[in-house]
Amino acid sequence: MSGRSVLLVLGVLVLQTAFVLSCVGAFRDPVPHRIALAVTDPTTRIADDTFYQLALLPGEPVDPVRVADEATALDRIHSREVDGALVLSRSGTADLLLVAGGAGPLLAKELATHVIAAEGHQGRTVRVRDVVPVAPGDKRLLSSFSLVVGWCAGGVLCALVQAYGAGRRRPAGLRASAAMGVLLMYSVLAGLLGVLVARTLLDAVPGNLWALWALGSLLVLTVGALTLALYELAGALGIGLALLLVVVLGGPSAGGVYPTELLPAFWRTMGPFLPPGAGLDAVDSIAYFRGAGAGGPWWTLVAWAGGGAAVVLLGGVVATRSRPPAARTKRRP
């Protein structure tokens, strides 16, 4: 076994161990952190007491904000500004909690648990109503998460084929342009096929077909361009870095198993800025909120894709210009 092979095997072992560490660290102790909750404000002492009771819960599991009425609260939920709303009764002790299962069933459950407990201390009861239920085939949003994982895997694999295919070690010059062209075509097809399987064939992920197709294509292109760029910069080590960002860190922090608000600070902070987290957030927005809140994730993916493509193409130009003149002209008749 050559020294290079030993180093590659050791690198795989490091990535595997890091993946186990990342997954276990992210999922071993889910604790809610500042779940955005609208509280209707009928300007009563009960409203003030409830608001401060929620705001002062140990560990800050809930982040309450005041809104005028139930209609405003519903609008905030559907625009993804809050994850739920507590509608206080003006006459009586029975209140209404509006939750959005489409933002995460576990998130809705945690929110209901803390609100019911806080209300119970004041002798009040809470009725829970899900105003954005998940699709029957997307329990706990695992189908959406699986779709995003599939798109990310496709982007990495397509980039690996371009990087190592046909005996080439690195794309250079026209090969860099060709690699990006193949990746672009693959992304369009992969985005479409993913939507057709998850949305049309299995009826698991709802939402506008065209928007999901565009998002899936962008996500595949993003991950593929990122992988090619890191390979251009660091060779085999760059592939490891791509897997670190997309799989080891990006997978657990995406919010698939647990919503982002339930993850520890390290994963909760980085998740929205990595391709899997941005992709899943955008899928959920399209599937359950008519695209509300998808702008940030879209721009995150565009930034990664644009940066990756620029590195690959610029690296190709530099490689072409740095070759000796004889190497550039020897194939001319």
Number of C-beta neighbours around residue 201 at 10 A: 10
**Two structure tokens written together for 308:** 């990756």
Residue 323's pLDDT is 58
Domain 35-130, classified CATH 3.40.710, yes or no: no
| Burial zone of 320 (CB within 10 Å; 0-12 exposed, 13-18 middle, 19+ buried) | middle
Residue 100 has pLDDT above 70, yes or no: yes
Q: Name the residue type at position 250.
A: G
d(CA 209, CA 219): 15
Residue 293 has pLDDT above 70, yes or no: yes
Is there a contact between 70 and 95 (Cβ–Cβ < 8 Å)? no
**Two structure tokens written together for 139:** 């329990």
Residue 325's pLDDT is 55
| Burial zone of 291 (CB within 10 Å; 0-12 exposed, 13-18 middle, 19+ buried) | middle
- Domain residue spans in the chain? 35-130, 137-325
Residue 332 has pLDDT above 80, yes or no: no
Residue 324's pLDDT is 57
Alpha-carbon 284 to chain mean position: 9
Residue 333's pLDDT is 46
**pLDDT tens digits, one per residue of 269-282:** 999 999 999 999 99
d(CA 281, CA 293): 8
**In 3D, which of 179, 168, 271 has the Cα closest to residue 225?**
179
State the average pLDDT for the chain.
89
Strands 35-40 and 62-67: parallel
- E strand or H helix at 38, and its extent? strand 35-40
The residue-averaged pLDDT of 60-80 equals 95
Is 89 in a helix, a strand, or coil?
Answer: coil
- What is the residue whose two structure tokens read 């506008």? 208
Strands 62-67 and 94-99: unpaired
Residue 331 has pLDDT above 50, yes or no: no
d(CA 108, CA 258): 11
d(CA 257, CA 253): 9
**pLDDT tens digits, one per residue of 255-268:** 887 899 999 999 99
- What is the residue whose two structure tokens read 């329990």? 139
Q: DSSP for 173-215?
A: THHHHHHHHHHHHHHHHHHHHHHIIIIIIS--S-S-HHHHHHH
**pLDDT tens digits, one per residue of 38-57:** 999 766 677 788 888 899 99
Is there a contact between 74 and 112 (Cβ–Cβ < 8 Å)? no
Sheet of 94-99: strands edge to edge? 62-67, 35-40, 84-87, 94-99, 125-130
**pLDDT tens digits, one per residue of 141-161:** 899 999 999 999 999 999 999
**pLDDT tens digits, one per residue of 204-256:** 999 999 999 999 999 999 999 999 999 989 988 999 999 999 999 999 999 88
Query: When comparing pLDDT for 1 and 330, which is higher?
Result: 1
Query: When comparing pLDDT for 264 and 168, which is higher?
Result: 264
Query: When comparing pLDDT for 174 and 84, which is higher?
Result: 84
Residue 319's pLDDT is 60
The residue-averaged pLDDT of 13-28 equals 92
| Burial zone of 327 (CB within 10 Å; 0-12 exposed, 13-18 middle, 19+ buried) | exposed
